[in-house]
Amino acid sequence: MELEALSLGQYSFVQNGYSFGFAVMAAATLFFWLMKSEIAPAYRLAVTITGLVTAVAAYHYLQIMLSWNAAVDITSGEVIATGKPFNQAYRYVDWLLTVPLLLVELILVMRLSKADTIKKSTVLGGAAALMIILGYPGEVSSVGGLRFVFWVLSMIPFVFIVYQLVVGLKESISKQPKSVQNLVQISIYLVIGSWLFYPIVYLFPLVGLTGGAAIAAVEIGYTVADIVAKAVFGVFIFFIAMRKSQAESEEANSETAVATPADENSVEGEETSKFS
């Protein structure tokens, strides 16, 4: 990555983007973990993983920001490379850890059977990890043809994941409470929509964006996609868990209310028989 191709404005814009990404992920982590106690025990693991995703992302955004700052010197008013490389691997390590977990938290909050949860989490998580691994060689390559080849390869598991989310989970979604079915659908389309950012941004250098403009567009594009896919998606997961918790609590209370009069009548009947 030729950072000297950046203008000072482009460099600062990307730096501010990293800073904003770190702040959003850190704030989201605190929100999810502090509010976890408001969720029913059955859904707390999903919310815990949601916070873990944003925590891992916050750490890596801090590392990316530090690496970005160390890679250049701007004291002269120009972007001058220091000789220290900008570590692009931080972003891919982050994705390798968080992208499979994003799918796992969706499966967990849906509360499928144990067998389905294990199967779908393993299949979708494995496909997500493969997608990230196949994308990395093209990301760090300066050869356009090689970048395109790995884009095509990484799109294979991507298409499989989209199919599983839209078609494979259709029956499971229909079994969700009415109050959360729309939220689950929106969450799935949010995942797909935000993930579409990545392959599009990946191709920026191949569609005419060169030099500093290409670098800035790719880095800002990835940051926006990360915020939507992790923090915003996490908020939807939290509200699904909250609504399901409330629905189950109300159902339990109504069952208790129905059972109580019957118990009282039984007691009254026993007392009447004693005096008769």
7-48 pLDDT, tens digit per residue, is 999 999 999 999 999 999 999 999 999 999 989 999 999 999
Cα(41)–Cα(248) distance, integer angstroms: 11
Please report the pLDDT score of residue 269 as a whole number.
Answer: 53
Please report the pLDDT score of residue 50 as a whole number.
Answer: 96
Residue type present at position 66: L
pLDDT band at 140 (very low <50, low <70, confident <90, very high): confident
Cα(195)–Cα(162) distance, integer angstroms: 10
Q: Kindly give the interhelix angle for 41-71 and 211-226, rounded to the nearest 10 degrees.
A: 160
CA dist 8 to 3, 12, 87, 256, Å?
10, 6, 20, 66
Cα(230)–Cα(247) distance, integer angstroms: 25
Please report the pLDDT score of residue 128 as a whole number.
Answer: 93
- pLDDT over 70, % of the chain: 92
pLDDT band at 176 (very low <50, low <70, confident <90, very high): confident
pLDDT band at 259 (very low <50, low <70, confident <90, very high): low
pLDDT band at 213 (very low <50, low <70, confident <90, very high): confident
Please report which helix (H) or strand (E) contains residue 5, including its range: none
State the DSSP code for 111: T
pLDDT band at 268 (very low <50, low <70, confident <90, very high): low
CA dist 212 to 32, 34, 39, 56, Å?
36, 40, 46, 28
Residue type present at position 101: L
Question: Which CATH number is associated with domain 3-275?
Answer: 1.20.1070.10
**Domain map (residue ranges) of the chain:** 3-275
List CB contacts of 220: < 8 A, sequence separation 6 or more: 13, 14, 17
> In the predicted model, what is the mean pLDDT of the chain?
87
pLDDT band at 2 (very low <50, low <70, confident <90, very high): confident
Length of the chain: 276
Lowest-confidence segment of 81-95, 101-115, 132-146 by average pLDDT: 132-146
Please report the pLDDT score of residue 131 as a whole number.
Answer: 93
Please report the pLDDT score of residue 177 as a whole number.
Answer: 84
Please report the pLDDT score of residue 104 as a whole number.
Answer: 94
